[in-house]
Amino acid sequence: MFPNSNEFKATLAAIASVLNDNHITWCIGASSSLYVQGVAVVPKDLDIIVDIAQFDDAYKLLKKLQPGEREEGMFGDDKYSKAPLLAATFPAEIAGFEINTTTLDTYEWEGITTTIHPLSVELEMYKKRPGKEDIVTLIEETLGKAT
């Protein structure tokens, strides 16, 4: 738990409910995904990744959380769209990327049905990111405890 964990949980629950009820392909991203899977990190924000083909739908469906101005760009070779959720109780944003659904798992966390990349997939993604060696170590430690 961390100081804003109740706000994190409330924000995740609100987002998950809307996206799940409307059959949007999504997952928790970055440190938020690591946190719900038991890695000793404290997320500064909640990153929600939606399939880029469904980004417009997700943006409209999350209107209660007041999506802010959209930004579009490139992350490496991948095109993305993203927007902050201005009314979320915990800092959050939705980002549209192409999602490989074969690497996603449904994951129950604190009574919330979420979708995540398993830690083994997260580990490989973090290994490719410069300056993330400390996170790689934390993921490896968490995976070691699970075996």
Q: What is the CATH number of the domain that holds 24?
A: 3.30.460.40
Q: Tell whether the model's pLDDT for residue 21 goes beyond 80.
A: yes
122 lies in some domain: no
Q: Which residues contact 140 (CB under 8 A, 6 or more apart)?
A: 123
Average pLDDT over residues 59-63: 96
pLDDT at 1: 64
Of all residues in the chain, what percent carry a pLDDT higher than 70? Answer: 98
Q: Which residues contact 29 (CB under 8 A, 6 or more apart)?
A: 47, 48, 49, 95
pLDDT at 146: 67
**Best CA proximity match to 25, nearest among 49, 1, 60:** 49
**What pLDDT digit, counting tens, does each position of 107-133 carry?**
999 999 999 999 999 999 999 999 999
pLDDT at 147: 56
Q: Chain-wide mean pLDDT for the chain? A: 94
CB 118 within 8 A of CB 105: yes
123 lies in some domain: no
Average pLDDT over residues 73-87: 92
25 lies in some domain: yes
144 lies in some domain: no
Q: Which residues contact 99 (CB under 8 A, 6 or more apart)?
A: 25, 26, 27, 49, 50, 51, 52
138 lies in some domain: no
128 lies in some domain: no
- 8: amino acid identity, one letter: F
Average pLDDT over residues 69-94: 93
Q: Could you tell me which residues are beta bridge partners of residue 35?
A: none
141 lies in some domain: no
Count CB-CB contacts under 10 A for residue 50: 27
Q: Which residues form the domain of 20?
A: 5-116
Domains in the chain: how many in total? 1
136 lies in some domain: no
CA dihedral 108, 109, 113, 117 (to 10 degrees): -80
Q: Tell whether the model's pLDDT for residue 76 goes beyond 90.
A: no
pLDDT at 145: 83
